[in-house]
Amino acid sequence: MSSSGSLSDEDIPDLISRVGDSNIADEDRDFDDEDQYVDSLQPALDLFSKKTFKTAEECIEHCRDVHGIDLNILKKRHSMDTFSFIRFINYLRTELPSPGFVMSLSSDSKWEDPKFMKPVIEDDPLLMYNLDDECDMFDDDEENGFEIDISRELNDQIENPHRSKSTSEGDRTVLETRLNEQIEELKRELEEKQVELGQCREDMLKMRSAAQSLFSGMEETGGKPTGGVVSVSEHKTVEQDSSYFESYAHYSIHYDMLSDRVRTESYRDAMLKNTERLTGSKVLDIGCGTGILSMFAAASGAATVVGVDCSEIIYQAMDIIRENKLTEKVTLVKGRLEETPLPEEKFDFIISEWMGYFLLFEGMLDSVISARDKYLAPGGMVLPNRCTISLLAISDTQRYNSLVGFWENVYGYKMSCMRNPILEEASVEVVPSSSTASDPATVLSLDLNTCSVEDTQFTSPFSLQISRDCDMTGILGYFDTFFDLPTPVMFSTGPHTVPTHWKQTVFYLPNPIPVKKGQILDCKIVCMRMETDARALKVALTVDKAVYKYTVD
């Protein structure tokens, strides 16, 4: 790089062959040599995880199928040449943006900086991979796809006006024959694609039928699937679950949690106001993050505190423990709890902030239950020890119209097909208390000292007594958390209390339902885990015999 900061030709690594080189045939080279060359390349590292692949092609297919990142589409969208594609790959490896953010970019300004020409990974196979070469139907070297140079033929006719008419007609016949062959080949390919599309449609119908059967099966068995519930740790390996743990390596999420005073001060008060129970005890902190709960436990008189976390944030937490001179009491361990040996065999208290949206999203409760069964000493206690989920009706036509009705007129165009995806996904937001339209109904109560993983899937009938005349636009879900100690502490995530980072979970109705004050709605909820992602939830709500289905993911 020159002193001015610009790149000279010598600075640019020769990563991709020049135009035309790929078409030069070497008669002495055989396929075995090519295989040896591929095998000699280092593994291709995934752009959004630590997973590696033998070839760049496998890595690119993984990015497309798993992360939803199609490099072919992005290359065409941003008109990338060789060097802008190199900068793009190095930008992803340097800045580590989320897949959704990358696909939403409307310009290439993020990776225009020449600094991204420097490879992040030496001999990165992705930098040596040329996308879409095989997609050029009319390549110049193939003479317009028909192996006939049309321009040469036309020039020849101009220069030789007395050329034999039969010769030109013969060439035209050859050209037409080749063209017809191309058309027939395209027709065959189209027919094959139509067959594949039909098969995909059949598969989708089968999947939809299977999902409906699963919902029905849960209703018939009282919310307990006949095959049992597989815990997250059994459903996913650490590698498969890496994106979940990586999400907790970002500092912003810990800022959100620590600055949530309702959440953090409740845990602090539960321990500091019950020092007579914690003094001299052994405490296990599951998912310790920055170590704040471990430090509260130490301040409450615990003799030994062990914190466990699988996220990279654990290394910063270790520095925090040293900075606060608590290394004699607090020990932090990195790893998944179910697979990591701990320095103590039993603990008097297990404390964890495991709750997710709608309480059960993320499935971290599985690890708490596993630790309780393995590490909790006789007479010990899980903190918090009790949680409940409640539902109530809401009426907020302004919010409903801005979110759901928005698609009826988008700058003069109808986009009603977008309504269903919006409605099928539960919305996490802060709902003002003025929007509530019924009394709450508790649909789940968990005793953390005795519950099982199976209890995280449930069916519960409930009634909503309407509190005012209005148009009911949705059902709101929230949870309450309890520390039943000599000095009890609890907090709520409901709309009538100070908002928390969990907010509330709203299930919007396809169409508002007019209701009257005093009216009682007979309802039912079925909550289960998604088969494709054990951390996500599938929820079915029945309101006066009409069934609505949602995902929480």
DSSP string, 359-377: BTTT-THHHHHHHHHHHEE
Sheet of strand 330-334: strand arrangement: 330-334, 304-309, 282-286, 347-352, 376-383
Question: What pLDDT, on a 0 to 100 scale, did the predictor assign at position 106?
Answer: 67
Q: Go through the chain and tell me how many residues it has.
A: 553
> Cα–Cα distance between 129 and 38 in angstroms, integer?
12
| Token pair of 178 as six digits | 């080749």
Under DSSP, the state recorded for 109 is G
What's domain 232-552's architecture? Distorted Sandwich (2.70)
| Token pair of 205 as six digits | 């119908």
Question: What pLDDT, on a 0 to 100 scale, did the predictor assign at position 39?
Answer: 46
How distant, in Å, are the alpha carbons of 17, 128, 216, 318 from that of 22?
7, 13, 57, 52
> Cα–Cα distance between 480 and 343 in angstroms, integer?
33
546-552 and 537-543 as β-strands: parallel, antiparallel, unpaired?
antiparallel
Under DSSP, the state recorded for 6 is P
The secondary structure of 133-189, three-state, reads HHHCCCCHHHHHHHHCCHHHHHHHHHHCCCCCHHHHHHHHHHHHHHHHHHHHHHHHH
DSSP string, 322-364: HHTT-TTTEEEEES-GGGS--S-S-EEEEEE---BTTBTTT-T
> Cα–Cα distance between 305 and 311 in angstroms, integer?
19
How distant, in Å, are the alpha carbons of 36, 260, 427, 437 from that of 407?
55, 34, 16, 25
Radius of gyration of the chain (CA): 31
Name which of 380, 217, 245, 399 is nearest 311 in CA terms: 245
Name which of 70, 120, 124 is nearest 93 in CA terms: 120
> Cα–Cα distance between 340 and 375 in angstroms, integer?
12
CA torsion, points 401, 407, 412, 414, in degrees to nearest 10? -140
Degrees (nearest 5) of the Cα angle 215, 221, 222? 90
CB atoms within 10 A of CB 82: 15
Catalytic positions, please?
353, 362
Q: Provide the residue-wise pLDDT of the chain in tens; the chain has 553 residues.
A: 444 444 444 554 444 444 344 443 444 444 444 444 444 467 889 988 888 898 888 888 888 888 888 888 888 888 888 888 888 898 888 888 888 778 777 667 778 888 888 888 888 888 887 765 444 433 444 334 344 444 444 444 445 555 445 555 666 677 777 788 778 888 887 877 777 777 776 667 656 655 555 554 444 444 444 446 666 655 555 544 445 445 554 567 778 888 999 999 999 999 999 999 999 999 999 999 999 999 999 999 999 999 999 888 888 899 999 999 999 999 999 988 888 899 999 999 999 999 999 999 887 899 999 999 999 999 999 999 999 999 999 999 999 998 888 888 899 998 988 888 888 999 999 999 999 999 999 999 999 999 999 999 999 999 999 999 999 999 999 999 999 999 999 999 999 999 999 999 999 999 999 999 999 999 999 999 887 777 889 999 999 889 999 999 8
DSSP string, 199-212: HHHHHHHHHHHHHH
- φ, ψ at 304 (rounded to 5°): -140, 130
Domain definitions of the chain by residue range: 9-135, 232-552
Q: Crossing angle for the helix pair 313-323 and 292-299, nearest 10 degrees?
A: 30
514 and 506 in contact (C-beta within 8 Å)?
Answer: no
Coil/strand/helix, residue 86: helix
Residue 120's identity, in one-letter code, is V
105 and 132 in contact (C-beta within 8 Å)?
Answer: no
Question: What pLDDT, on a 0 to 100 scale, did the predictor assign at position 228?
Answer: 60
44-45 and 546-552 as β-strands: parallel, antiparallel, unpaired?
unpaired
- φ, ψ at 315 (rounded to 5°): -70, -35
Q: Which residues contact 480 (CB under 8 A, 6 or more apart)?
A: 387, 388, 390, 490, 491, 492, 493, 494
> Cα–Cα distance between 527 and 535 in angstroms, integer?
13
Residue 315's identity, in one-letter code, is Y
Coil/strand/helix, residue 338: helix
How distant, in Å, are the alpha carbons of 58, 136, 509, 515 from that of 494?
46, 57, 20, 22
Question: What pLDDT, on a 0 to 100 scale, did the predictor assign at position 150?
Answer: 42
| Token pair of 350 as six digits | 């297990």
Outline where DSSP puts E strands in 37-92. Answer: 44-45, 52-53
CB atoms within 10 A of CB 183: 10
> Cα–Cα distance between 152 and 144 in angstroms, integer?
12
The secondary structure of 465-501, three-state, reads EECCCEEEEEEEEEEEEEECCCCCEEEECCCCCCCCC
